[in-house]
Structure 1
Amino acid sequence: MKAPFLSLLIAAVLFCTTISAQEDLQITAKDSIVQSSWIFGVGVNAVDDSGNVFSGLFNVSDEWNMVPFPSRISIGRYFKSGLGIEAIGTYNQYMEGNIIDGVPSPENIDYFGMDARLTYDLNKIIGQTGWFDPYVGVGIGYTDANRLGRGTYNAAVGFRTWFSDRWGLDFNSTGKWSIGSENGVTNHIQHAAGVVYQFGIEKGLSKRGEEKLELLAAIEKEKQRQMDSIAEVNKQKEALLLAERLKKEKEEAALASAEEARLKAERDRKDAIEKRIADLGYVYFDLNSSVLTKQSKDILNSLAAILEEIPTLELKITSHTDSRGDSKYNDWLSERRVKSTKDYLISKGIDSSKLSTESYGERQLLNECSDGTYCPEEKHKVNRRSEFLVLEL
């Protein structure tokens, strides 16, 4: 149950901080405390040596002894653990008429004390506050009271309240028990109040600040987890997109390769058919004739067979003359020749829609035998022809 609860808590905090209260989770000066320092104090002290501690605790006028000026000085070092070591010097005066050791004092008698004590900050247990900083302590000392010197065991309880990181007030009471059993030496209580000043300060987070820091770390961890999750999702999306793109590129490459292979096959097929037709040769005519010779018919028979073999094949027939004679006559003669060529193929069962024609007369000679140029008959014969061009396969 703990893990789900923590997740819900973090989610709730994330929501709240996003909407309106993110600043509340920032570490501020209020979240830091003094963890170790030196403390110097100056103040006053009051000694109750009446022996009537509990029943006369507040009988100030008859049992408390004080002087009207600063009478206590202290210096101490306090550590992160809550422990502190302190040295204290006090001066006081038993006032004439006050009860001392159970009897009224006949005169004013000086009081001196030198003490060392070990203290512990109770805020380490109950939680840090600035206005109430309680402590307890034990120690030893030497006291000259009622003209009798003695070593003492000491136990103290008190508290400090702070106005700032450096200035505050200290209130405490110390019980002093005599070491040994000298005649006339009594136990007594010493109360003190004074101003304290901190220096050599080392600060750290309070418990509330540590809780904030822990919560901020948890929030940051959750944010990082969400970012990592989003990054992982994006990474997976990118991987899928990359895979799809590579697949598409591969498919396109395969299609392009197949298309290229198809086109090449078509080109090769066309080249092969054109070669077969070219290998048949031209249909040649005699001078001033459009009549097909036996040799020309043999060529057209082979061409008809190719057209029958390849139903999709379409041809263009062009007919030509040599340069001898009038050009108009040659145009007419080439028309006769192309017609006789086409008609023969049709007679062999070839659909006329597969055949288109064009006559050029003497305009497309294959050699230099133009008008005004002498050529033998063999050269002129080359130009009296019908040619075949592949249009469609």
Structure 2
Amino acid sequence: MKQFKLILMAFILIVGISNLNAQDKNNTIAIGIGTNAVDFYPTNAGLPGHGTWFSEYFNIGDHYNIIPAISKITVNKYLADGFSIEAAGSLNKISKVGDNSVSDLAYYGLDGAVKYDLNGVIGETSFIDPYASIGGGYTWMDSYGTGTFNGGIGINFWFSENIGMNLESKYKHAFESAIVQHFQHSLGIVIKFGGNDKDGDGVYDDYDACPEVFGLSEYNGCPDSDNDGIIDSKDDCPNVAGVAALNGCPDTDGDGIADKDDACPNEKGTKANSGCPDTDGDGVVDKNDACPQVAGPADNKGCPWPDTDGDGVLDKDDECMNVAGPASNKGCPEITIIEVAKLEELFKTVYFDTGKSTFKKETYVKLDEAAGIMSKFRTAKFTIGGHTDSVGSDARNLELSESRANAVKDYLVSKGVPSSNLEAKGYGENSPIATNMNKAGRAENRRVEVKLVN
């Protein structure tokens, strides 16, 4: 009983220390102390004074060799994926080898093992931690020594995150006959420590929600760079203090839109306008609105379109914004049959120098008048046709008629008639309006005509 009292006292002392300096469950070093019992009986079937395998396995009083002291020390190092390595030293006094009594023989063991946490197979438990081990060592008994092959199972019962009780049973197969096969059982206290803290913030990795970044214990090891109470990993603006409702971002104008998403962070606005105000509600935010108090379209910078000539067609759609005209004609006045007839008369008095495309002097006044009429009707389009008599070759007459038609067009354009409204075409001698058999008829055939296209 004395050895159990010592173990109990050690356990109470260690628990007291652990409460002052609690360690993390991810600690990678474990030290165990306790007592051990050596049993030769159930492992040597056929030898005198021994039973069959595992017979009287729990017969403590008749077969176990126990000394009333701390007689076993272990050191464990966690590796990865449930694997750890262990070094163990133990001592004992042997007075029973099966049913045979011997004078107290000194027993020493130095062992190493690889251990595997069976929670990886059966599933995690809250405080029970079973394991299996395999390894080898060297055992001395009195003046004899031998190497051993060891295999065992054990279980840790955790009273806290780093303090527990260990119970283990290990079979040791000896390679020299002077020391026969035996079981070594142990009971003791195990303490875990040496936890990982990669970022050095005092919060061990297993508890650290941000194990790679230095942080604060009140935030489970995560940083809060702007001290707004929101950890950086959940803070959309980690370097500027903000509010939780906006994931840690500030809202200077209080419109419920974070400054980083607010195109007008110092003026209250709406989400639909990216945080900017639109006083006149025309869809153009005030900062881009040339008329913020009066609604207008975006393509006129938020201002209403003018109608300079008052014809009901807005200037933006009015091709003649200074002259009234119907919407059907894009705001331009429509040419009448009277003006068309006038143009036809004027063009009858267009005369050219003989065999040339230059005008006679009296023609200019007539063309100026025609240009004045055409310029008033910006949407009216005309065809200017040049004609000749039959004197000369067909090719020469066609070339001359085209040259004269283009001369008229060029002159009208120089007086302000849009070039796009005019088309010049030569017909040569192919469209006579009189006979080419006499002088008077040929004079009528030498002409320039204008026709309204639309």
TM-score, structure 1 as length reference? 0.45
Structure having the higher helix fraction is 1
TM-score, structure 2 as length reference? 0.40
Find the structure with the greater CA-based Rg. Answer: 1
